[in-house]
Structure 1
Amino acid sequence: MGPVEKPRLVASDVDGTLLGPSEAVTSRTIALVRRVVEDGVPFALCTGRPPRWIAPVAGPLGLTGYAVCANGAVLLDIGADEVVAVHGELAPDLLHDLASALDKALPGCRLAAERVGGGSADHDLRNFVIEPEYHNPWGDEESRIAPRAEVLGRSAIKLLVSHRGMTSEEMAEAVGTLVGDAVDVTYSSSGGLIELAAHGVTKATGLAELAERFDVPSEAVIAFGDMPNDIEMLQWAGHGVAMANGHESLLAVADEVTAPVTEDGVAQVLERWF
């Protein structure tokens, strides 16, 4: 098991971990997160979400610190609404190579690119750029439809791949080694969507960078998650906690399994100390 003492840094996934089917954080979890912060312990959101999707979660929780976004590719200063680090951007030539491999492994797949701009003047680059018929389980309201050449024409922090006729698990298995060692494949839902990011860039690397900023060793970190994109983070943290509603691959590597998100599983664990 992980740390028996009070953690010095708390890291949590968002969807399926802090947010349940209602897409809202409960009053119990809000109160708990605020107690953690008031006690001087950083509470970091570690999510596959892009920076622009952080404020609706951080606001109710009262968080103004840091968020690890895009599965470790981006470190966001929430209070300043500023991206302070970007890691592992995928260059256009690599994106084109990946697209060719994906078309062979997943005939009929559709692609999208997640980008991070350099500031307010570049705000459009923060948006999804998707090709026609791309399907996002969370909705495509913020996206801009564009030809594939435009989707692949700029560096991206993630290449997203959708297929309406397959589960995410089936897609990840079909892609296998075809995409090579340049990227890692993961997913945060089973709804026919996988995410490709630079090899070695995970929530764990993003959390490690954040822990270094706070001078907190991994053994003093507790991390919560529910899906395969949380595996490395839970393995890196001194104590990795999976939600009972989590994917079986995550449950297999967790130090502890807490109650499901619908029963405030994160709060139930942290109330031991806060």
Structure 2
Amino acid sequence: MNQHLIALDLDGTTLNNQAALTTATIQTLRAAANAGHIVSIITGRPYRIARHIYDQIGIKTPMVNFNGALTHIPHEAWDKEYAVELTRELALDLLDHRQELGIKTITVEDKFHVWANHPTKDLPEFLPDHLTKDQLLNGHNLTTDPIALTIEYRSGEEGKIIQAVNEKYGDFVEPRVWGGSYNILELIHRGTHKESGMFYIAKQFNIARQNIIAFGDEHNDLEMLDAAGRGVAMKNAIPAIKDVADDVTSVDNDHNGLAKYLQDYFKLSVPTSHEQAV
């Protein structure tokens, strides 16, 4: 079989409902990499909370963070690395107007750093639950343009924030509301989505579109699955993702749906083992 790019969303797709990798998933992804395929994580997560997953899988291929805004090879100085940045002005402007806009927490990140207006325990894996003095978001500490900006807002206030952002920064900023029960709004550079990172990686390895297989479950996976040669929705995916997908896994992310699909599709030989999360 031709070399493929296997593009992997993390939460709700590669990870189970405890946000962990199972042994079966790790072994399957390693088998795919050993068979010569390019296994790439393409996630909305920042690098700081995706690096350990990359390391557990044990791959050495490029990774995409912030929904396409950062593409790099972890632990390497890759000359093809790129970042699509927002502006420092945007972050500090929203910080100044957070009360009137209904903003609870503003988290600003680049590849290695995170700043926030205060720590929060509302979403501990994604938003910082503790901050050092130099991580406090202000004009003194934030000296460079960030890659991503995440807003936790008061329930029902997202429309006000989106309107304010669109009026002043809409020419280059695109607001996206997280799905599910989260009151989270993400600001990304307009036109930057997961598929841009996916195609960038494919180009580096001369992989044609028809040899790209992508997996996902949520709104931020839509462009990626729609653009891939083969877009695969998880059984637990939202309807909009299943609508654009070419196929759907037979079981969900909590029952190794990704691993089973890859084993069948690529005829991978994976040793059986006890199914524990690692």
Bin for the TM-score computed over the shorter chain: 0.7 to 0.9
Native 8 Å contact 2:115 2:137 kept in 1:
no
CA offset at residue 52 of structure 1? 2.6
CA offset at residue 208 of structure 1? 0.9
CA offset at residue 60 of structure 1? 2.2
The residue aligned with 2:255 is 263
* Greater C-alpha Rg: 2
CA offset at residue 71 of structure 1? 1.1
Structure 1 residue 127 and structure 2 residue 113: aligned? yes
CA offset at residue 247 of structure 1? 2.9
The residue aligned with 1:247 is 238
In structure 2, what is the Cα distance between the partners aligned to 1:130 and 1:74?
20
CA offset at residue 37 of structure 1? 0.6
CA offset at residue 88 of structure 1? 2.0
Q: Residue 12 of structure 1 aligns to which amino acid in structure 2? A: L
The alignment's TM-score, normalised by the length of structure 2, stands at 0.80
CA offset at residue 148 of structure 1? 4.5
In structure 1, what is the Cα distance between the partners aligned to 2:60 and 2:130?
24
The residue aligned with 1:171 is 158
The alignment's TM-score, normalised by the length of structure 1, stands at 0.81
In structure 1, what is the Cα distance between the partners aligned to 2:139 and 2:239?
37
Native 8 Å contact 1:240 1:255 kept in 2:
yes
Native 8 Å contact 2:98 2:104 kept in 1:
yes
In structure 1, what is the Cα distance between the partners aligned to 2:233 and 2:200?
22
CA offset at residue 43 of structure 1? 0.3
Equivalent positions of 1:211-222 (< 5 A) are: 211-222=202-213
Range 226-235 or range 34-43, more displaced: 226-235
Q: Which residue of 80, 85, 90 maps to 1:89?
A: 85
RMSD: 2.8
**Deviations 1:76-113, CA, capped at 9 Å, x for gaps:** 21352768523321122343456678766x42443110
The residue aligned with 2:43 is 47
In structure 2, do the counterparts of structure 1 residues 244 and 143 end up closer, same or farther at CA, with 3 Å as the change threshold? Answer: farther
Native 8 Å contact 1:130 1:151 kept in 2:
no
* Structure 1 unmatched runs, 5+: 117-125
Structure 1 residue 14 and structure 2 residue 10: aligned? yes
In structure 2, do the counterparts of structure 1 residues 81 and 52 end up closer, same or farther at CA, with 3 Å as the change threshold? Answer: farther
Q: Which has the higher contact order (CA 8 A, sep 6+)?
A: 2
Secondary structure at 1:48's aligned position in 2? coil
Q: Residue 223 of structure 2 aligns to which amino acid in structure 1? A: E
Range 173-182 or range 14-23, more displaced: 173-182
Secondary structure at 2:14's aligned position in 1? coil
Equivalent positions of 1:1-274 (< 5 A) are: 8-80=4-76, 84-96=80-92, 106-116=101-111, 126-132=112-118, 135-136=122-123, 138=125, 139-141=127-129, 143-144=131-132, 146-149=136-139, 154-165=144-155, 171=158, 175=162, 177-178=166-167, 180-190=170-180, 191-258=182-249, 259-271=251-263, 272-273=265-266, 274=268
Q: Residue 130 of structure 1 aligns to which amino acid in structure 2? A: A
Native 8 Å contact 1:68 1:76 kept in 2:
yes
CA offset at residue 198 of structure 1? 0.8
Structure 1 vs Structure 2: percent identity of aligned residues? Answer: 28
CA offset at residue 30 of structure 1? 1.3
Native 8 Å contact 1:184 1:197 kept in 2:
yes
